[in-house]
Each structure stands twice: as structure tokens, then as C-alpha cells.
Amino acid sequence: MSKLKLATVWLDGCSGCHMSFLDMDERLIELAELVDVVYSPIVDTKQFPDEVDIALVEGAVASVDDEKKIKKIRAHSKMLIAIGDCAVAGNVPSMRNPFGPEAILNRAYIENADTQQQIPCVVVPKLLRVVRPIHEFVKVDVFLPGCPPSADTFHTALTALITGEPLDIPALTRFGA
């Protein structure tokens, strides 16, 4: 059997979910027997591949760039898994929603800046007015809440999804876990 193609993506999150994924430690070697990591912040590939079997997405959708990425990921992935509370529920990135992006940019780059007060406008993508979980943009197949989901949760869930065994997610993790 050929190996499954696994991608991991980092949108508006803290990378904590990726850290937790790496915390699987030696179990990553077992996992590598079953999957090829074809795209990830820890893999030197710039373009999201055309065909991916499982895409793990960390982070909420907060910018026009995130929105473009998540649509591309969905179009090229057989199974899309939202990992962590940001991807699943918005979480900390969504805490700006009641105030809007202008208020946050002003606070960070004008009010709290001692010198060179200016709001970045080139290269960095434009922020969306509201930060949203990824399932508000595209269909998500599996939700893995947690901040972050533990390494054990990653291991149990991924093993079950790869081998097709039954998976009881609420027994493994919850919002804020």
C-alpha cells in the first residue's frame, strides 16, 4: 500500500498545535511508516500539493491570505481536519472580533509604539473584519478541539483516521483542553 499524503497547515494560530503534534515524539516514526508529510511548516515545500489525503489545519481564518489558503487546501484535500480551538472555534485570535481589526492595529502599531508609528500595509495580508473558524468557509471533515489537542489525542485520532477505526473525539478532548 502506498503511503497516504499528509499536509499540515498553520493559519492564525500560535503553532502550539504543531508543537503538540511534534510532541508525539517517537510515535512520529511509526506515523512516518504510514504517511508522507508532503506539506508543512516543517517541510520545505512552498506550494500546497495538488493531491493530499489528509490535511491538518491549525489556526483560524483571520486574513484574506488565510481565506485563499483554506479554499485551496479544501480543493486539494480528501480529508480536512480542523486541529485546535482556533481552527475549530476561533479561540484567542477571535477575541478581537467585538472590537474590529482597526482598533487592534491602532493599539499595536500606533498607541503602543514608541517610534515609527505606522500600520503595516505592504506584503502583510489584509485582516478580515471578523476572525472565523475554518468550517465557516469550507467543509471540515473532522474537528479536533483543544488548546492544543494533546500529543496522545493527535496519536489516537490520526491512527484511527488512517486505519479507518472508530474514533470518539469527545472522549479524547474538548474546547480548552
Partner 1 sequence: MTVDVDVKTLVIDEQEVSARAGQTILEVAQENDIKIPTLCHLDGLGDVGACRLCLVEIKGSNKLLPACVATVQEGMEVSTNTERLQKHRRSILEMLFAERNHICSVCVSNGHCELQTLGQEQGLTHVRLPYRNPELTVDASHERFTVDHNRCILCTRCVRVCSEVEGAHIWDVMGRGIDSIIITDLHQEWGSSACTRCGKCVQVCPTGALFDKSKVGSDHPKYPDFLLQLNLMREAQ
Which positions lie near partner 1, rule CB under 8 A?
Answer: 82, 85, 88-92, 94-95, 97-99, 130, 132-133, 135-136, 140, 143-145, 147, 169-170, 174-176
Minimum separation from the CB atom of position 177 to partner 1 (A): 8
Q: Smallest gap, in angstroms, from Cβ of residue 62 to partner 1?
A: 13
* Grid cell at residue 106: 491602532
Residues 47 and 64: their CA atoms lie apart, in Å, by 17
- Quote the least distance from Cβ 153 to partner 1, whole Å: 12
Q: Which is nearer to partner 1, 38 or 55 (CB)?
A: 55
Nearer to partner 1 among residue 45 and residue 129 (C-beta):
129
Cβ partners under 8 Å of residue 55, min gap 6: 6, 7, 8, 9, 73, 76, 77, 79, 80, 81
CB of 142 to partner 1, least distance (A): 8
Which CB sits closer to partner 1, 92 or 162? Answer: 92
Report how far residue 133's alpha carbon sits from residue 147's, in angstroms, rounded to the nearest whole number.
14
Cell of 121: 500595509
Neighbours of 35 (CB within 10 A): 16
Residues 6 or more apart whose Cβ sits within 8 Å of residue 80: 55, 57, 73, 74, 134, 138, 139, 140, 141, 142
Which of residues 95 and 124 has its CB atom nearest to partner 1 in the complex? 95
Q: Give me the least distance between CB of 157 and partner 1, in Å please.
A: 11
Nearest CA to 84 out of 162, 161, 157, 30 is that of 157
Decide whether 74 or 135 has the Cβ nearer to partner 1: 135
